[in-house]
Amino acid sequence: MLVTDLRHFLDLPDEVPGPARRLAEQLYDLVRAATAGDTGTAWVSALPCRRRPGNRRCTGRMLVLRAATEGPIASECNTCGDAGRISDWEGSPFDLRRAQPTEIGPVHHLRIPDEVATTLRGIMLLDTDCERVAFRAYVDGDDTILPVPDTGLEELIGYVAADANHEPNRRRQQRLDAAFTVLSEAAENPHSSPSALVPAGDSTGAVPPRPGPAVPGLPELDIARVQRWCGARVPEHARHEVRLECEIAARHLTIVERRAPWCDDVGTEWTSMPIARLRYTKATKTWSLYWRDRNLRFHTYDRLPPSPHLETLLTELDRDPTCMFWG
């Protein structure tokens, strides 16, 4: 059994050997899965085993168990029996526990291809709720099942679409397109789940344009206000080098800084970096401001309470008294 302290695998230097880095990534994913699931219940996650007995990849999946709210996380491959125990994961960037009990409503259990589950886990810009969905995927027999709350499917689709639209790697973009197709079909008919991967594109290989995510409940006037604010913050003479854009999802707006390639070696694609997130709560008709950490995860900006006046949040974002947004 491999017993590890997660603190020893945080902030690894660039020169860490490949095997050690792959082990760290496996530990990160195990913590995400265990904290996305329920306490006290062992379940078979969609995470593959990392072992390669006889130079052949083990086909097993990792069973995870978080016996208590805090304390060691146990894992074991359901095929080769490779087992481990992870301690001191609490409060790490990979801890997906909810801060307090939350009513999430009905949950749809969607049968998805394993490739889609892998793609969802690889999206870097997921918020904690969607990241929790991606890592809660489990295996039932030969099927990979994604449990999605009734209110979370459209938001997850929005993240997939946004990531695909900014992905320069053609092969990964195709995987994101496939995930988008599967999830979109599930959204159109939530009472039946797709049983096979639907190819993206037509016979020529062209991928059809992805529609923007649905935005039920987001005030159109506020969306336009944020878009105008983004446009006004960058002087016109600098817009060939840097832009500020507003990406729209089902329940929030993400302010993204995009920069032109600084040399020919990096290609022609503009880079994207999320700056802040504005989340809308329909029940109270208020907006909340979130800041991004270095692991691209968003956290509540606690210096400013939720407000029905979006201008208040934009003013605070513009001032940035803590240098959390613009540095």
DSSP characters for 286-301? EEEEEEE-TTS-EEE-
Q: Does the predicted model carry a pTM greater than 0.85?
A: no
Are residues 243 and 260 located together in one domain of the fold? yes
Query: What does the pLDDT read at residue 213?
Result: 41
**What is the average per-residue pLDDT within 205-219?**
46
Q: Which amino acid is at 42?
A: A
Are residues 93 and 106 located together in one domain of the fold? no
- Calpha distance 164→312 (Å, rounded): 32
Are residues 127 and 75 located together in one domain of the fold? no
Are residues 280 and 244 located together in one domain of the fold? yes
Share of the chain above pLDDT 90, in %: 39
pLDDT in tens, 236-286: 888 888 999 998 887 889 999 998 887 766 567 888 899 999 998 887 889
Query: What does the pLDDT read at residue 264?
Result: 65
Q: Is the dihedral of CA 138, 141, 143, 145 positive or negative?
A: negative
CA atoms within 13 A on the CB side of 36: 31
Query: What does the pLDDT read at residue 214?
Result: 41
More confident residue, 155 or 91: 91
Counting every residue written for the chain, the total comes to: 327
* Apex 51 CA angle, 44 and 128, nearest 5: 45
Are residues 11 and 82 located together in one domain of the fold? yes
For residue 54, tell me if it sits in a domain.
yes
pLDDT exceeds cutoff 80 at 149: yes
For residue 196, tell me if it sits in a domain.
yes
Are residues 188 and 113 located together in one domain of the fold? yes
Are residues 226 and 280 located together in one domain of the fold? yes
Query: What does the pLDDT read at residue 24?
Result: 93
Q: b or e along 68-90 (b: 16 or more beta carbons within 10 Å of the residue's beta carbon)?
A: eeeebbbbbbbeeebebbbeebe
**What is the average per-residue pLDDT within 147-154?**
80
CB 176 within 8 A of CB 189: no
Query: What does the pLDDT read at residue 189?
Result: 64
For residue 124, tell me if it sits in a domain.
yes
- pLDDT band at 316, cuts 50/70/90? very high
CB 259 within 8 A of CB 270: yes
For residue 237, tell me if it sits in a domain.
yes
Are residues 60 and 149 located together in one domain of the fold? no
**What is the average per-residue pLDDT within 149-156?**
78
**What is the average per-residue pLDDT within 286-311?**
89
Are residues 8 and 41 located together in one domain of the fold? yes
For residue 88, tell me if it sits in a domain.
yes
For residue 135, tell me if it sits in a domain.
yes
Q: Which amino acid is at 65?
A: L
At residue 33, φ and ψ (nearest 5 deg) are -65, -45
Are residues 18 and 56 located together in one domain of the fold? yes
pLDDT in tens, 34-66: 999 888 888 999 999 988 878 888 999 999 999
For residue 134, tell me if it sits in a domain.
yes
**Domains identified in the chain, total number:** 3
Q: Is the dihedral of CA 64, 178, 175, 60 positive or negative?
A: positive
Residue 288's nearest CA partner among 279, 297, 296 is 279
Are residues 49 and 88 located together in one domain of the fold? yes
Query: What does the pLDDT read at residue 195?
Result: 38
pLDDT exceeds cutoff 50 at 193: no
pLDDT in tens, 72-116: 999 999 988 899 999 999 999 999 998 776 666 778 888 999 999
Domain hosting residue 308, numbered range: 220-319
Are residues 33 and 124 located together in one domain of the fold? no
More confident residue, 157 or 256: 256
For residue 66, tell me if it sits in a domain.
yes
Query: Which span out of 177-186, 194-203, 272-281 was modeled with the highest average pLDDT?
Result: 272-281
- Identify the weakest region by mean pLDDT among 126-130, 150-154, 194-198: 194-198
With residues binned 3-state (H G I as helix, E B as strand, rest as coil), the percentages for the chain, rounded to 5, are 30, 25, 45
